[in-house]
Amino acid sequence: MLNEKIAKLLNEQVNKEFYSAYLYLSFSSYFDSKGLNGFANWYMIQAQEERDHAMLFYKYLQNNGEIVVLEAIEKPDKTFGNLIDPLKAGLEHEEYVTALINNIYSAADEIKDYRTMQFLDWFIKEQCEEEANANDLITKMELFGTDPRGLYMFNSELAARSYSAPSLSL
């Protein structure tokens, strides 16, 4: 069994990961409404990744004898004035998730819960990738987003993204 504090933090993370999926679905919907199917695709896949992350936490809790407590998922409240706004909101959100993961890791380290720390190692690496991707999207939008041809090519690049589920064995 897990330490009570660790179990609580991991349960909360399940909800946060599902919220991330909702948030990215809202980004996908926004870009779809703007006719940018590549951006919509990128965030749809991002939402799939976040759902899988939630399920990894879910399964880890179950594998450690914990009952998973599912809370209500908050409605995303972001509004966007231009095409770069969701990208910046995405980076801000990924930095927030990184802080959440780091907090759980620190709590596990305090009590020498090495199993949870090892489990979280994958998420720490994943968050590094997530933040790099979010920064890359912002950089490319700043470079190409005001040029219609550049935006078209950037959108086409994002349309080519495909999904593969994480291969983290618990």
Classify residue 163 by its DSSP letter.
-
3 state DSSP class of 95:
helix
Distance CA 43, CA 163 (A): 11
Buried b (16+ CB within 10 A) or exposed e, 89-122: bbbebbeebbebbeebbebbeeeebeebbebbee
Delimit the domains of the chain by residue range: 4-73+81-159
pLDDT at 167 (0 to 100): 64
Taking residues 40-49, report their average pLDDT. Answer: 98
In angstroms, the CA 54 to CA 52 distance is 5
- CATH 1.20.1260.10, domain 4-73+81-159, yes or no: yes
pLDDT for the residue numbered 68: 97
pLDDT in tens, 20-33: 999 999 999 999 99
Q: Reply yes or no on whether the pLDDT at 170 is more than 70.
A: no
Query: Could you tell me which of 13, 1, 6, 4 has the C-alpha nearest to residue 107?
Result: 6
pTM of the model: 0.93
- Nearest of 22, 15, 17, 121 to residue 70 by alpha carbon: 15
Percent of the chain whose pLDDT exceeds 70: 98
Task: With CA atoms as reference, report the closest residue to 98 among 56, 132, 75.
Answer: 132
What distance in Å separates the CA atoms of residue 137 and residue 131, rounded to the nearest whole number?
Answer: 10
Question: Cβ neighbours of residue 96 under 8 Å, at least 6 residues apart?
Answer: none
Average pLDDT over residues 54-72: 96
- Any idea which residue has 């179990």 for tokens? 7
Question: What local confidence, expressed as pLDDT, does residue 165 receive?
Answer: 75
Note the pLDDT of residue 161.
93
- Of 164 and 49, the one with more pLDDT: 49
Q: Which amino acid is at 169?
A: S
Residue 86 parent element (H or E): helix 84-110
